[in-house]
Amino acid sequence: MNRNNKGRGQRVSKRDLFDKIMEFLQKNPKQSFNYKQIAFGIGLDNKSHRNNLLNALDDLVAAEDILEVDLGKYKAIGNRGVENEGYFVRRSNGKNAVVIDDEQIMVAERNSMHALNGDRVRVVVSAARRGQSPEARVIEIIEARDQQFVGTLKIDKNYAALVTDSKFLAADIILDKKKLKGGKTGDKAVARITQWRDDEMNPRGEIIDILGVKGENNAEMHAILAEFGLPYKYPENVEKAANRINAGITPEEVKKREDFRSVTTFTIDPRDAKDFDDALSIRQLANGNWEVGVHIADVTHYVRPGSVIDKEAQHRATSVYLVDRTIPMLPEHLSNGICSLRPNEEKLTFSAIFELDSKANVLNSRIGRTVIKSDRRFTYEEAQAVIETGEGDYKREILVLNDLAQELRRRRYRQGALEFGRAEVRFEIDETGKPVSVFFKESKEANQLIEEFMLLANLTVAESIGKVENKKKAKTFVYRVHDNPDPEKLSNLNVIASRFGHKINTDGSARDVNKSVNKLLKDIKGKGEENMLSMLAIRSMAKAVYTTENIGHYGLAMPYYTHFTSPIRRYPDMMVHRLLAKYAEGGRSVDKVKLEDECRHDSDMEQLAANAERASIRYKQVEFMSERLGEIYDGVISGVTEWGFYVELTESMCEGLVPIRDLADDYYDFDEKNYCLIGRRHGTRYTLGDQVKVQVARADLDRKQLDFALVDDKGNPNKPIETRKPGKRHEAKHSRGSRKQKTRNRK
């Protein structure tokens, strides 16, 4: 987005004068110029601008942006004015920045040109002054990112505004009262910015959608999705296209596939699942070995490349799982109907078939399209009951599969796979969406049974394409990769673990490192340092992503890995299915650059979906605890920052902040390296992993934040400081806009 050009003799804004002066002096860094020379150099030949120019020069000198080397002579400051491009990071607390080559450089609000979070910008970076960090000034918005904001409508007699919930925008968005789409004060709504004049403190915008009354469950869940730019409803034309599809399991289609309809087959899924991606079949072969089939819904048989359904699925990239609902990647007619491997229905599948001996050694495998008929739908709880009691439907098959899965699991950990077993918090929700109780989702043998065979299928599929002989070049494929952990974070984990008498191997092979981390996680089980060290171990690991560049999967200790087993809910799995079919027919390798772009999009959308899921959990945690204000709980410090520390309650895993401003018994400093706050006067430490007792003090649903107050064993609050020395109080302040004349148009 280019700045407005000003002609000679026209009115020039102060911001434009700053830009023109800086640009002129930086082009001639070794020379100094007087007022007249600068006026001529920037094309300012109107005498009426003399005072404006002199004032601008004085302001730039005062701000140390230029030097007045002699009376009335000005010069650029050496090593300043380096232009760069980067991505703008806007924060509602005013701590804006630009990210250039992974480095964050601060940008004052007055120098931001009202760039929004994620905009690609061109900046001038100032050299750091002694004792200060460098700063940047936005001179052009190259690419304004299309984005939307969620908030609450406020309508008065003279104006309407969206009071935003965003952590990326402090200012309210001014709206046209005649175009509110029926919204009323107190409604949750979605809006986008259409214009932000530089001489106005607030942007102007338009309503995209009205979500409903603030506080109502549907409105709040849709607001979370909209906050992350995720869809919360399906386009009507996509639904209609899906509804026209029929199962189409004709005799002709069955002849093209391997028939497993007579083989014992069942699904094992969560009790509230409706989209059954995968099923397992098992039968004993004449030689005594076991044939296990991992059967995956053949989604790509129904969803053709380039169709409206495919384009929508590609854009979404993943299903999103909030606390109380699933927002499917595919329309329900496909995800819960035709493609779902429901019991007693013939289904088309894409399968990985294995021959295993009694020690779970894979003797043979094949991949191909099949047809199945599931005999039974098990929940995890039902399958677990069969494993624990040895009684129930298909008990022999389930027990054999479990024995094989446990052997596969033991072998995987012997090879160096990581073993993180942290429980997940879940809520029981009533019919209005209100959380009524908390429970923990833990992985038991029934979960592990499914997990191990899905891992085996994903590994085998990745190897079938990526593992080639005689130095041949593998065809382009989609891999799920996990990079090595950050060495510095791993070393830091070892330093902190050593304080508790534990040790990890930080510079051995990946297998040795992972074995030592697994031993650490096992040794700390049930101990006071468990939460702290397990969280640090997780944080030291890289994030898994999709890519065409195979570097293996560190966490699983697998040299080849992909995602093949969930095409109903993940678009990368659909991509894998299509590539398998193409290459099986002798097709040429696909365009790597294009596929890599799709992989990057899928990784980004996966992260957004995970963020939305966590936001919905936080919302329900705050909603759940809002009825427990004043109650006291035991907890563990789960995070430490310069503004306080976070505490996770032992009973419910709900997390809240103990603000540093409320620690009234001392002045506390943040020790980032050691994850602790230290009192200046008494030396009291609050460290990651410490067990504490807290009282629920505040519950802010808009910010999805709980505030706790620290109490002692008797329930008494943190004691106040007896005497405070008088002194200047420093408060962080930020401007919500600067007085400039340019206009930001976002239509």
Taking the C-alpha atoms of residue 369 and residue 350, their distance in angstroms, rounded to an integer, is: 4
Two tokens, residue 354: 């294995």
Question: Hey, what amino acid is at 15?
Answer: R
Cβ neighbours of residue 417 closer than 8 Å, sequence gap 6 or more = 514, 555, 556, 557, 558
**24-52: b (≥16 Cβ within 10 Å) or e:** bbbeeeeebbeeeebbebbebeeeebeeb
Residue 4: per-residue pLDDT:
37
pLDDT of residue 12: 66
Positive or negative CA dihedral for 124, 127, 131, 133? Answer: positive
Nearest Cα to Cα of residue 188 among 157, 159, 209, 204: 209
CA gyration radius, the chain = 30
Q: How far apart are CA 281 and CA 354, in angstroms?
A: 10
Tell me the C-alpha distance between 390 and 615, whole Å. 40
- Residue 98: strand pairing partners: 88, 105
Say what the pLDDT of residue 609 is: 96
Q: What SS3 state is found at 40? A: helix
pLDDT tens per residue across span 685-710: 998 878 899 999 999 998 899 999 99
pLDDT tens digits along 625-669: 999 999 999 998 888 999 999 999 988 889 999 999 999 888 999
Alpha helices in 499-529 (DSSP H): 510-523
Question: What pLDDT does residue 93 have?
Answer: 78
Q: How far is residue 663's CA from residue 682's CA, in Å, rounded to a whole number?
A: 13
Q: 351 with 456: CB under 8 angstroms?
A: no
Question: Mean pLDDT by 10-residue block, N- to C-terminus, for the chain (747 residues)?
Answer: 40 78 81 86 76 85 75 70 84 86 84 91 74 80 90 92 88 93 95 88 94 94 93 93 93 96 97 93 98 98 97 97 94 96 98 97 98 98 98 98 98 89 81 89 93 98 94 94 88 84 84 87 79 80 95 94 98 98 97 97 96 94 94 90 92 92 90 88 88 94 92 69 34 31 42
CA 252 and chain centroid, separation: 44
d(CA 390, CA 392): 7
Q: What is the pTM of this model?
A: 0.81
Residue 100 pairs with which residues in a beta bridge? 103
User: Looking at the DSSP assignment, which residues form a beta bridge with residue 530?
Assistant: none
Distance, CA of 331 to CA of 313 (rounded, Å)? 9
User: Beta strand 258-259 with 173-175: parallel, antiparallel or unpaired?
Assistant: unpaired
pLDDT of residue 69: 66
| pLDDT at position 526 | 74
pLDDT of residue 47: 67
Dist. CA 345–CA 297, nearest whole Å: 13
pLDDT at 486: 83
C-alpha dihedral sign at 674, 680, 683, 688: negative
The amino acid present at 624, given as its one-letter code, is F
Contact 737, 200 (CB under 8 A): yes
Q: In the 3-class helix/strand/coil scheme, how is 437-483 assigned residue by residue?
A: EEEEECCCHHHHHHHHHHHHHHHHHHHHHHCCCCCCCCCCCCEEEEC
